[in-house]
């Protein structure tokens, strides 16, 4: 069977959906082909025993600029976390709160008493973060970029505050060796300073679903693409589609297989989801463990404190995330449960493990120097989009989809102008 379309987008993750929307809004005919049974790619949500479980713990930061043109944040009903962290340390019992004094003044006293805020360390943190917080900061290729570890060393950020920042960031960029690009981490820092991350009322999948609902033609689900070329796509069902442009928005590994280009290595995460009858804390905060050799959990939260819609009435949902390193055994359920008992100071043997998500490729590794690629073209008529071409984030995936669409629209308008 053969057919044609002006543009074919392969993959209905955030990059593909954003690209399709940007093209459609300019009158371009687009077909979106998705191998999976729903849109969203790495952002999916399942209902399990009345709980909402995302496929791996993640949060939506409403400050991401790429959301603005495409997403109705009010309609998502974002349930925000507080702007701070709860810390389990050797000497803190119960959890100790460190929070942004501007947005969470109720915790100023605790934050000052945390013992982490030596003036020299605060000065070093301010020096390290300053470039990201300026009014005109943008992510660019032409600035020096070193690893986050090196930039913090250069700023003189050491001691207990450095340990807090490192532990928090390892749960965001999914590495604990400090290798991630400072430019990327500065982008995230800027967003944390401007927005309070949260969870949509119906789960993270509500974000891609909203993007898909705005398309003129529905995404074609269950449609795996097996080969692509300039202006050409073949599906597993044997359909041959010709197009002016094919956009490969499949995620890095599938894109590499389809285009024969090298893939970006990935970083993984394991999230454990527990149903509990009694919340071990009422804080709507991410919790990190600063005890000596604490165990594999890099962050945990009573999710339903921030996002009540994630648990049925009278029950609570706890997440615990650990790094899933390439080539290493995933954490065991017993290790995670034991560490959580230590963090929250309650027995966890009665906690019901609803599910564990082992996600070997959650984010592309993004070492320094970060390349925010402007040229996505593989060959004329075949381009790529996805977080692996920008930053490993919701923002990065959407920006890259938008950029792919703009490149095509630019050429199309230029072509039409010449014809006229």
Ligand X SMILES: Cc1cc2nc3c(=O)[nH]c(=O)nc-3n(C[C@H](O)[C@H](O)[C@H](O)COP(=O)(O)OP(=O)(O)OC[C@H]3O[C@@H](n4cnc5c(N)ncnc54)[C@H](O)[C@@H]3O)c2cc1C
Q: Is-cis flag, bond preceding 369, omega within 30?
A: yes
DSSP 90-137: TT-SS-EEEE-TTT-GGGHHHHHTTS---HHHHHHHHHHHHHHHSTT-
CA–CA separation, 378 vs 229, rounded Å? 9
Candidates 164, 249, 331, 343; binder of ligand X (CB under 6 A) is 249
393 near ligand X, rule: CB under 6 A: yes
Candidates 9, 43, 211, 337; binder of ligand X (CB under 6 A) is 43
Candidates 9, 21, 45, 58; binder of ligand X (CB under 6 A) is 58
Task: Pick the closer one to ligand X by CB: 211 or 302.
Answer: 211
Candidates 8, 9, 32, 35; binder of ligand X (CB under 6 A) is 35
Min. distance of Cβ 182 from ligand X in angstroms?
17
Task: Pick the closer one to ligand X by CB: 231 or 392.
Answer: 392
Name which of residues 346 to 385 contact ligand X (CB under 6 A): 359, 362-363
Task: Pick the closer one to ligand X by CB: 150 or 224.
Answer: 224
Candidates 56, 198, 203, 231; binder of ligand X (CB under 6 A) is 56
Candidates 254, 343, 384, 404; binder of ligand X (CB under 6 A) is 254
Which residue in this structure is represented by tokens 């230590």? Answer: 342
Task: Pick the closer one to ligand X by CB: 121 or 249.
Answer: 249
CA–CA separation, 381 vs 247, rounded Å? 8
Q: Which two tokens stand for residue 283?
A: 């804080």
42 near ligand X, rule: CB under 6 A: yes
198 near ligand X, rule: CB under 6 A: no
Instruction: Kindly provide the b/e burial profile for residues 373-394, where b requires at least 16 CB atoms within 10 angstroms of the residue's own CB.
Output: eeebebeebbbbbbbbbbbbbb
Distances from the Cα of 83 to the Cαs of 193, 194, 290, 370, in angstroms? 9, 10, 19, 27
Asked if residues 168 and 286 have their Cβ atoms less than 8 Å apart, the reply is yes
Q: Which residues bind ligand X (CB under 6 A)?
A: 10-16, 33-36, 41-43, 56, 58-59, 224-225, 249-251, 254, 269, 359, 362-363, 386-387, 392-397
């Amino acid at each position: 069977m053969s057919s044609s379309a002006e543009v074919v987008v392969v993959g209905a993750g955030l990059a593909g959906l954003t690209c399709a929307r940007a093209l459609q809004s300019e009158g371009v005919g687009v077909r979106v082909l998705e191998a999976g049974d729903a849109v969203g790619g790495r952002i999916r949500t399942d209902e399990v025993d009345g709980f909402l479980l995302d496929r791996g713990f993640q949060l939506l930061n409403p400050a991401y600029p790429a959301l603005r043109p495409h997403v109705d944040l009010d309609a998502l009903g974002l349930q925000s976390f507080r702007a701070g962290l709860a810390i389990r340390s050797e000497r803190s019992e119960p959890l100790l709160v460190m929070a942004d004094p501007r947005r969470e003044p109720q915790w100023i006293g605790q934050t000052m008493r945390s013992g982490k805020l030596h003036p020299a360390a605060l000065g070093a943190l301010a020096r390290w973060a300053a470039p990201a917080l300026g009014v005109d900061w943008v992510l660019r290729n032409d600035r020096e970029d070193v690893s986050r570890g090196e930039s913090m060393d250069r700023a003189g950020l050491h001691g207990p505050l450095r340990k807090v920042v490192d532990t928090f960031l390892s749960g965001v960029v999914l590495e604990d060796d400090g290798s991630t690009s400072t430019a990327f981490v500065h982008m995230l820092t800027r967003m944390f300073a401007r927005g309070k991350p949260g969870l949509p009322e119906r789960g993270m999948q509500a974000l891609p679903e909203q993007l898909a609902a705005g398309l003129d033609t529905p995404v074609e689900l269950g449609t795996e693409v097996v080969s692509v070329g300039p202006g050409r796509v073949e599906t597993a069902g044997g359909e041959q589609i010709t197009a002016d442009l094919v956009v490969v928005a499949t995620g890095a590994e599938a894109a590499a297989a389809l285009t024969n280009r090298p893939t970006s290595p990935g970083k993984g995460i394991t999230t454990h989801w527990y149903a509990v009858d009694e919340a071990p804390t009422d804080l709507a905060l991410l919790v990190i463990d600063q005890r000596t050799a604490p165990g594999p959990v890099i962050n945990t939260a009573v999710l339903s404190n921030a996002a009540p819609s994630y648990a049925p009435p009278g029950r609570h949902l706890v997440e615990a995330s650990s790094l899933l390193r390439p080539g290493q055994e995933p954490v065991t359920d017993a290790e995670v449960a034991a560490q959580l008992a230590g963090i929250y100071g309650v027995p966890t043997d009665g906690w019901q493990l609803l599910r564990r998500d082992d996600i070997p490729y959650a984010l592309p590794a993004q070492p320094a120097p970060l390349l925010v690629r402007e040229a996505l073209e593989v060959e004329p008529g075949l381009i790529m989009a996805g977080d692996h071409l920008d930053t490993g984030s919701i923002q990065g995936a959407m920006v890259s989809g938008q950029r792919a669409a703009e490149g095509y629209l630019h050429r199309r308008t230029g072509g039409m102008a010449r014809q006229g």
